[in-house]
Structure 1
Amino acid sequence: MNLLHGKDFRPPWPLTSGHIQTMLSSSGVRRMLLPRAATAVQRGAEAVVVDGGGGVRLSGAYTAQQIRPQPRGLAVLFHGWEGSVDSTYVLQTGSRLLADGWDIFRLNFRDHGDSHGLNEALFHSCRIDEVVHALGDIAQRWPARPIALAGFSLGGNFALRAAMQTSRVGIPLSYVLAVCPIIDPGEGLFSLEETAPWFYQAYFMRKWRHSLQAKQKAFPQHQYFEMSELNQHLRGLTEAMVLRHTDFQSLQQYLDGYSVAGDIMQSLQIPATILTARDDPVIPVSSFEKLELPPNVELDIASYGGHCGFIRDWGMTSYTDDYIATRFNAVADAGAASG
């Protein structure tokens, strides 16, 4: 099977603009234009709650494939910050893999989707232990093998960190693929504030404040933030969240807590692929170029694609769907041949 590569993605103008790719990736226009097949993973999906350990509950959706006697395996998908199991890119990828005979599990992180009422404590990006525990619960409850994991943006960061722990805790994860993952959170925060156009920070802040309001409504007895804190920009509100709701002593300590920069991924033992775009306006490509990776981790930097876009044409489908599917299928085929 021929694998796709980032260099092969060459969209027509004006989709060669990283800003246009990024803005279209989560736009309502794109969702309206997508073919019905791109939402197939929602049909017949079972809404479930999985165990995050220590009383934590995380929501998700499981869809069983119907086209093969046995599934190729179990594909687990992680959304990005303030996304959900129903984000466009998650639905597209899940539907593409479902059509290839994979069972699909889409996981919501804490306080994402409609899950604000499941846990009283707030989501933050260092809550990796509950995600790893949830992966263990998923692997036990849905036994299709191999298990392959894909994540987008912050979900890509979570996927890479989870993959570094699965071998240690006995979760049989075979492969991980991260699309435009956050590498150095401090550098990414600086980029959103100082380098990226203002509307990216405005977009994320609007979604985050909406999420925090939903959390407050779910637990009215708990005051999560003062109004003066909610009115701050990204850095100020993030620092307030860290000091109020985590054990970290500073914003920088928190940001370092979920970094995968430098040589951190040397401990990653399973095969992995990182796909990003040189024109990503949200996460600087320099973060990827400075990585020190082991031989089992493939770094693929495309010239185009923006942040989690990779939109082929005005049909609004994404190159990442086939990119992920060819790699997942290769993992399944290799496992079948060796078994």
Structure 2
Amino acid sequence: MDFKPSKLLANRHLQTLYPALFHRNSKLPFEIETFTLSDGDFVDCYWLGRDTSKSIVIVFHGLGGSYRSGYIGRTMETLSRNGFSTVLMHFRGCSGRINLHPRAYHSGDTGDALEWIEEVFRRYEGARVHLIGFSLGANMLLKLLGTHKLPIVSAIAISPPLDLALCADRINSGFSRFYQSIMIQNLNRFVLQKFQHHDYEKLIGLKKHEVAQIKTFWEFDERYTAPIHGFDNAKHYYKDSSALYYLPSIATPTLLIMAQDDPVTCIDFVPPNLSSSIEVEFPTQGGHVGFVGGGAFGVYWLSKRIVEYLLNS
């Protein structure tokens, strides 16, 4: 199922922005479950069509994503229509409720996902379970599969920032700085909300008025992500968390989808020594988590490709 972009959206930035700005915000009948983690914190998991007789698809969103994100709603709705039970595991603090601990989540944070996956297997013994990750969630998923042998039927990773350091450089250049600006503003807002409950100046030396001065991912990860999650610095965090280093160890059948014109990541980051379990699709166009094909106003090719792959797994 080859991807061909909509003629009116044959541009990396239009492919990236159109799905985010012009998506139908359908009110899906989610069943909301709060899952308590081993450290006492929580993540909110949104089920759509929970049915133990069906295959279960666990979904991981991208940076700042949630059940409100267009790509999440489209994916879960399409999967539900095709007979899958789906559940979105929000990363800490992303569901609209601030998490309890000073820490949050990051690109290599596999611990919470592992706990939730193991809980799903414990409850639904013998279930056929698939995993899907988008962007940050895709990087996390690939690292998880490369470090843990899980009885997963198949997985799909879409637009992962495989080399976090190189991606932090890439998004700090040219028009990509536009995306960085939006994402950093949202991250800063998130941290300021957490300042209401935690003294970050005491914890990691970050003063409240300094948050607004953070403008790049390198700065944000150096000042907040790395220290609050136990890394020495941003470089240490990037090296430990980049999925690039875990790809050769993946044994689960996995589909890796990345556009060659992605303004955030790059297929040049993909190493030649991939695991034989990984199938790659690198369309020349598609942007970052875009892949809008079809007619003038676009058809969401990505949702269809996801269903096709899972049905054949």
Q: TM-score, normalised by structure 2?
A: 0.90
The CA RMSD over aligned residues, in Å, is: 2.2
- Structure 1 window deviating more from structure 2 (100-109 vs 135-144): it is 135-144
2:76 equivalent in structure 1: 94
Which residue, out of 171, 174, 177, partners 1:192?
A: 171
1:208 equivalent in structure 2: 187
1:334 equivalent in structure 2: none
Amino acid at match of 2:183: F
Q: Indicate how the Cα distance of structure 1 residues 173 and 268 shifts in structure 2: closer, same or farther if over 3 A, else same.
A: same
Mapped pair 1:13 → 2:7: yes
Decide whether the 8 Å contact of 1:278 with 1:303 is kept in 2.
yes
Decide whether the 8 Å contact of 1:80 with 1:154 is kept in 2.
yes
Equivalent-residue separation in structure 1 for 2:272 and 2:168 (angstroms) = 18
- Measured against aligned partners, the alpha-carbon deviations of 1:282-323 in whole angstroms (never above 9, x if no partner) come to 1122112x3421111111101111000011245554111010
Alignment of 1:157-306 (within 5 A): 157-167=139-149, 171-217=150-196, 219=197, 225-226=206-207, 227-234=209-216, 235-242=218-225, 244-261=227-244, 264-288=246-270, 290-306=271-287
Equivalent-residue separation in structure 2 for 1:70 and 1:60 (angstroms) = 19
1:53 equivalent in structure 2: 38
Mapped pair 1:26 → 2:20: yes
Query: CA shift at 1:241, angstroms?
Result: 1.1
Decide whether the 8 Å contact of 2:107 with 2:139 is kept in 1.
no
Equivalent-residue separation in structure 1 for 2:32 and 2:85 (angstroms) = 14
Mapped pair 1:150 → 2:132: yes
Q: Indicate how the Cα distance of structure 1 residues 119 and 134 shifts in structure 2: closer, same or farther if over 3 A, else same.
A: farther
Decide whether the 8 Å contact of 1:50 with 1:57 is kept in 2.
yes
Decide whether the 8 Å contact of 1:47 with 1:61 is kept in 2.
yes
Structure 2 unaligned segments of length 5 or more: list them.
Answer: none
Which residue, out of 29, 49, 64, partners 1:64?
A: 49
Amino acid at match of 2:58: V
Amino acid at match of 2:291: F
Equivalent-residue separation in structure 2 for 1:62 and 1:84 (angstroms) = 13
Amino acid at match of 1:193: N
Equivalent-residue separation in structure 2 for 1:63 and 1:166 (angstroms) = 27
- Structure 1 window deviating more from structure 2 (311-320 vs 150-159): it is 311-320
SS of the residue 1:204 aligns to: helix
Query: CA shift at 1:252, angstroms?
Result: 0.7
Equivalent-residue separation in structure 2 for 1:316 and 1:203 (angstroms) = 24
Q: TM-score, normalised by structure 1?
A: 0.83
Decide whether the 8 Å contact of 1:50 with 1:137 is kept in 2.
no
Query: CA shift at 1:194, angstroms?
Result: 2.3
Query: CA shift at 1:243, angstroms?
Result: 5.1
Amino acid at match of 1:129: G
Q: Indicate how the Cα distance of structure 1 residues 127 and 11 shifts in structure 2: closer, same or farther if over 3 A, else same.
A: closer
Q: Indicate how the Cα distance of structure 1 residues 244 and 70 shifts in structure 2: closer, same or farther if over 3 A, else same.
A: closer
Q: Indicate how the Cα distance of structure 1 residues 16 and 78 shifts in structure 2: closer, same or farther if over 3 A, else same.
A: same
Decide whether the 8 Å contact of 2:16 with 2:287 is kept in 1.
yes
- Structure 1 window deviating more from structure 2 (252-261 vs 115-124): it is 115-124
Query: CA shift at 1:189, angstroms?
Result: 0.2
Q: Indicate how the Cα distance of structure 1 residues 284 and 142 shifts in structure 2: closer, same or farther if over 3 A, else same.
A: same
Equivalent-residue separation in structure 1 for 2:244 and 2:233 (angstroms) = 19
Decide whether the 8 Å contact of 1:46 with 1:62 is kept in 2.
yes
SS of the residue 1:53 aligns to: coil
Query: CA shift at 1:55, angstroms?
Result: 2.4
Query: CA shift at 1:277, angstroms?
Result: 0.4
Amino acid at match of 1:259: S
